């Protein structure tokens, strides 16, 4: 009954606006940087204290294209009562190149627990909240944020101007290329080992690139970016660091990048 009501409503709206266009996405291509990095404070903080950090880095990696697959569901069916159908789309993730990254973080510590928030730029603007703990030897935490990725997305497929659309209807080709901001959820965890003024850190950051066009959204594979970094606090305020970034799409696809940077603490 609910499905019939939904179909009836869609049909009425189509008639009201003099036709509906249905879309099937056959392929897509999207520029996909590494998931944004979120770090701890890399040093021991005194209880009931706070600090600010400004950081910048450069990421360098070879350009690489990965073949992936996405899926979606639509209502381009042969009859009003037919259930929605699942479709697949071939896609390509484009990694690599040189990027300049910058971020600002605030950290506040109670006794052991640490909270923080930050904003940054990495092929788009991102912001996040994090919670964890900080001791003289180790720190760790988790975070959640939004990544407003500035990227180029190419969509190819076919459209039909009647509804419902069957395989026998006249499907025309469709192609869209847009460079814009696409908002994605990202999340992950971080951990650091602290030895005097030295530190070793690990960060796992995950996001899913937005793929949509013609009123359809494709569920595409997640990107898992692993950051392994070492650094040294050369003074109370300045830190230098360098490391490796490994981005995985699935067990068969991985991309490597090098990263070097510096940070200033207040």
Domain residue spans of the chain: 36-72+95-151+174-265
pLDDT of residue 17: 42
For domain 36-72+95-151+174-265, the CATH architecture is Beta Barrel (2.40)
pLDDT of residue 142: 98
pLDDT category of residue 203 using cuts at 50, 70 and 90:
very high
More confident residue, 211 or 83: 211
Q: Is the pLDDT of residue 82 over 80?
A: no
pLDDT of residue 121: 95
User: Tokens 């520029």 identify what position?
Assistant: 31
The rounded distance, in Å, linking the Cα atoms of 238 and 215 is 49
Q: Are 254 and 61 in contact (CB under 8 A)?
A: no
Task: Report the half-sphere exposure of 28 (CA within 13 A, side-chain side).
Answer: 29
Query: What's CA 31's distance to the chain center, in Å?
Result: 11
Task: Report the half-sphere exposure of 202 (CA within 13 A, side-chain side).
Answer: 7
The rounded distance, in Å, linking the Cα atoms of 174 and 160 is 10
pLDDT category of residue 250 using cuts at 50, 70 and 90:
confident
The rounded distance, in Å, linking the Cα atoms of 262 and 218 is 38
Lowest mean per-residue pLDDT among 6-10, 55-59, 259-263: 6-10
Lowest mean per-residue pLDDT among 100-104, 175-179, 195-199: 175-179
**Max avg pLDDT among 127-136, 147-156, 213-222:** 127-136
User: For 37-64, what is the mean pLDDT?
Assistant: 95
Q: Are 107 and 49 in contact (CB under 8 A)?
A: no
More confident residue, 8 or 211: 211
Lowest mean per-residue pLDDT among 12-21, 49-58, 79-88, 122-131: 12-21
User: For 242-257, what is the mean pLDDT?
Assistant: 90
Task: Using the CB atoms, write b or e for 57-91: b if 16+ within 10 Å.
Answer: bebebeebebebebebebbbbeeeeeeeeebebeb
Lowest mean per-residue pLDDT among 15-19, 51-55, 180-184, 192-196: 15-19
pLDDT category of residue 6 using cuts at 50, 70 and 90:
very low
pLDDT of residue 163: 62
pLDDT of residue 45: 94
pLDDT of residue 21: 63
pLDDT of residue 16: 41
Of the chain, the percentage scoring pLDDT greater than 70 comes to 83
User: For 207-226, what is the mean pLDDT?
Assistant: 87
| Stated pTM of the model | 0.84
């Amino acid at each position: 009954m609910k499905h019939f009501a939904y179909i009836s409503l869609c049909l009425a709206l189509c008639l009201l606006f003099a036709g509906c266009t249905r879309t099937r996405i056959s392929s897509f291509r999207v520029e996909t940087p590494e998931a944004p990095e979120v770090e701890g404070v890399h040093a021991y903080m005194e209880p009931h204290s706070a600090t600010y950090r400004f950081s910048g880095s450069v990421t360098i990696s070879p350009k690489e294209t990965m073949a992936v697959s996405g899926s979606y569901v639509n209502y381009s069916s042969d009859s009003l009562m037919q259930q929605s159908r699942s479709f697949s789309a071939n896609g390509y993730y484009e990694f690599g190149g040189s990027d300049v990254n910058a971020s600002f973080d605030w950290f506040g510590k109670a006794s052991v627990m640490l909270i923080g928030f930050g904003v940054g730029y990495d092929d788009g603007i991102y912001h996040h909240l994090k919670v964890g703990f900080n001791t003289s030897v180790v720190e760790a935490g988790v975070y959640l944020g939004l990544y407003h990725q500035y990227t180029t997305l190419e969509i190819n497929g076919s459209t039909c101007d009647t509804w419902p659309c069957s395989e026998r209807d006249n499907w025309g080709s469709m192609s869209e290329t847009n460079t814009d901001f696409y908002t994605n959820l990202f999340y992950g965890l971080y951990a650091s080992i602290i030895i005097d003024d030295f530190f070793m850190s690990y960060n796992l950051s995950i996001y899913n690139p937005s793929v949509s066009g013609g009123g359809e959204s494709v569920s595409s594979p997640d990107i898992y970016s692993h950051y392994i970094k070492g650094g040294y606090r050369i003074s109370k305020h300045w830190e230098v660091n360098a490391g490796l970034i490994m981005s995985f799409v699935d067990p068969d696809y991985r991309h490597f990048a090098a990263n070097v940077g510096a940070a200033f603490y207040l």
